[in-house]
Chains A and B, each alone.
Chain A
């Protein structure tokens, strides 16, 4: 990496990302009791830190290559994605009732995480030629089918959360691709009309999650437990929080999954409303820069990539934080750059790296 690359990099996005990563390491440390003596107390923090460092180094190295090269791999990546998702179904390990994991040596990877970023690259490749040409259902059908296959594979795992992320990516990108707004409206209307039908395709535990979302007290010790304890954690943090390592909900394990899906509740409990606002504003900076980078991108492929990434991140933040706050149903969607998890971390650092790459190669202003 040359000095000129660093000088021209989007420092704002870089700083916001770094800020979130620092918070992530600190909060994971708190949630995994790094302050109490124990043989493996550094395990989570060390692992997350190590993978962050490796990912950042790799991203820095890749800054030397133009993101436009990805365009040539769009279809190959798409095929790879399908193979990976089918592999999960065949050899995957289940966790919490869903087959999501593949073990490669000491690392368990979650292919559905990587498939998000692959989906964005493949879809950007496909849509680039279709800008302004999505005027009716016939135009949209090939695109929908293209996304639909991996979407259904993920849904089958079952991983409702990731499949919903696919939809968010899909709609974000076709919107910017210039889809006919009446067509878009029609699709939404049909979707809403079909909701009751969709209900039948949900697994029992997914139905329960929706019911519990409406009223957590339906099952306070079962499915509703997460939401209730998460709201207690965040609410009891009040303005200034209970202090790092002092969150009783998190430290005494009342809050489950406190270093992964519910890490935001630890922020709310230990750092209070102030911590919450700081973190959410950092996310806003990332999203805002994502839109800006899409605006400034030198070509349509770059813009579509940036939009896909921004849509993905925005949807993740909305659904994950909304879940911890009790305004979104429980889905296994991690909080980007915050939740513990190697696959998710790698995907999101890669996503940020792509944004930086697009920004780096934007059309230069002429003086």
Chain B
């Protein structure tokens, strides 16, 4: 033992100090592990578990005969896993070079990102980029490939305005739709059917629960919830008719050197839209993975507004197609009898307004006036009816309000009336000349091509007005029908059946000896039609044509407008004829004729 052990007692202090140190450490460990253990366990889970959403394939579109119109193709997106530490700048630089996305842009995306979802860096990359990232995993820690269905509009511009397009949800939409389960980065329908039926089409995203290491590199998959695909839409559109209508419009625009047009084809007995065309158009595929600013500017700077669906948004003076309404009103109100002859001397006797070309048809009755679209006759009808009765009948036909078709941004048009004049003009008085204008569809009246088709359709369907619609059935991924759209009767014209018959007869004569007779000569199916020319203060007149057939039992009504196409009979009628040909199967050489040739 140590001699002279004066300070040996101090060793006890050292001993107990050691005990104290160990006790404090055990106490602290116990506090963290037992008392706060659950809290730290959650933090540890948060460190290592990430959810990679699996995007649900969007529902596809089929035409009325089951032909595929819009589908999805597999796409690959490159994303970064959010990690606890800073992402290695070397990885970001490497990724920037591979994807040709500037480093600053990647940094910005990382900066703006919150939560634990992957940070999307570039959508829809080419397969070779996918291969490089998969093969050089260690060079790209935390970089993952997300399989992402990309919307594929197989027919490009065809029916683009009807189908619409999809794009990433923006902040405003997100704010509005947060409660409906929309999340940042979601793809959402922005236009057309894609917008209206987005809720049905989008399906439900699934997700993979993935364990990642500190660099965000996935180590193993812990859980997987497969996505539920969206519901499919079976449209009322007839693909063949649509293609034919598009082709007819393009050919005609090229031939007469015009730029904009719209066509609506509908079954008047059900309201099913069979085809819908708007020109100029756009390619919705451009939007599927973010449109380039070059493409966007090109669309935006086009003076003919390719992004508008002119079939439902374009408002034009109805021109002579309005004479259907004026005529129905005059006969119903009894201001004229079908046989009464009215003198057309080239211009009306109260106000010297006349026919477009100044021609005089002499003494004519109702049916002749309709067939030749005689202005003087219908001025007189306007004169006898007065503006208020004209307004009443226009509204009875459904003008001045939206039809309620399942497409966004529909315009309501305008019915000429006294209140409108009072409200919008300094000189609020109504003049007879304005009644004259209204009676032949000029002046204040405005209709959309769809409304024009609706008016013609009501005559075709003996006064019945069905709600126009584009979808027949919504079908779930398992094949069961979620919803079926039956014809919905919106209203019936409060006129006597013989009035409708008289109007029908007049319209029938249009293609027999009237304004459309030249182009419909030899057409094997009986067609009723009406041409129109809408005065356009900004340029050449717009050409109109509405028609239905077969005359006895119509299953199609067509409305055509060619912006700045001049006379309807020359610009719109040829398109209408081609559409009807396609519908009745006359555009293909008949098998018999084919056989004869051989």
Contacts and interface: CB of A to CB of B under 8 A. Distances in A.
Contact of B15 (A268, A277, A291, A322): A291
Contacts of B11: 176, 291, 294-295, 303, 307
A273 B18 contact: no
Contact of B41 (A235, A287, A288): A235
A292 to B, nearest CB: 8
Contacts of A294: 11, 14
B25 interface: yes
A10 interface: no
B22 A280 contact: yes
Interface in B10-55: 10-15, 17-19, 21-22, 24-26, 28-30, 32-34, 36-41, 43-45, 47-48
A238 B34 contact: yes
Nearest to B18: A287
B292 interface: no
A310 B22 contact: no
Interface size class of A (residues with CB under 8 A): 35 or more
Interface size class of B (residues with CB under 8 A): 35 or more
B10 A175 contact: yes
B213 to A, nearest CB: 4
B429 interface: no
Given A231-B40, A268-B29, A284 B14 contact: no
B214 interface: yes
A288 B13 CA distance: 11
A254 B47 contact: yes
Contact of A314 (B2, B21, B45, B85): B21
Interface in B196-226: 211-215, 219
B84 interface: yes
B35 to A, nearest CB: 9
B595 interface: no
Contacts of B21: 287, 314, 317-318
B6 interface: yes
**Which of B15, B29, B85, B213: most chain A Cβ within 10 A?**
B29
Interface stretch (A78-86, A142-150, A245-253, A347-355): A245-253
Nearest to B7: A178
A208 to B, nearest CB: 16
B8 interface: yes
The dominant DSSP class at the A interface is: helix
The dominant DSSP class at the B interface is: helix
A276 B213 contact: no
A295 B11 CA distance: 7
A29 to B, nearest CB: 19
A232 B32 CA distance: 9
A47 interface: no
Contacts of B32: 231, 234-235, 268, 325-326
Contacts of A231: 32, 40
B91 to A, nearest CB: 15
A219 to B, nearest CB: 12
Contacts of A253: 213-215
Contacts of A177: 7
B37 A132 contact: no
Contacts of B18: 284, 287-288, 290-291, 310, 314
Contact of B1 (A273, A298, A317): A298
B37 A235 contact: yes
A238 B14 contact: no
Interface string A325-367: 1110000000000000000000000000000000000110000
A228 B45 CA distance: 14
A235 B84 contact: no
A233 interface: yes
Nearest to A307: B14
Contacts of B22: 280-281, 283-284, 287, 317
Interface string B61-91: 0000000000000000000000011100000
A232 B29 contact: no
A317 B25 contact: yes
A70 interface: no
Nearest to A317: B21
A239 interface: yes
A321 B40 CA distance: 18
Contact of A248 (B24, B38, B48): B48
Interface string A274-304: 0011001101100110111011111110010
Contacts of B6: 131-132, 178
A362 B8 CA distance: 15
A311 interface: yes
Nearest to A286: B18
A272 interface: yes
Contact of A296 (B1, B10, B48): B1
B128 to A, nearest CB: 30
A272 B1 CA distance: 42
B1 A363 contact: yes
A236 B43 contact: yes
A249 B44 contact: yes
B1 A311 contact: no
Contact of B29 (A131, A234, A283, A297): A234
Interface of A: 131-132, 172, 175-178, 221, 225, 229, 231-239, 248-249, 252-254, 268, 272-273, 276-277, 280-281, 283-284, 287-288, 290-292, 294-300, 303, 307, 310-311, 314, 317-318, 321-322, 325-327, 362-363
14 contacts: A175-B13, A221-B86, A229-B47, A236-B41, A248-B48, A249-B47, A280-B26, A284-B22, A287-B15, A288-B15, A292-B15, A307-B14, A310-B14, A318-B21
Given A237-B37, A280-B26, A291-B15, 12 more contacts: A225-B84, A229-B47, A229-B84, A232-B40, A236-B41, A238-B38, A248-B47, A248-B48, A249-B44, A252-B213, A297-B1, A314-B17
Q: Lowest 6 CB-CB distances: which A-B pairs, in order?
A: A235-B40, A236-B44, A287-B18, A238-B37, A291-B15, A252-B213
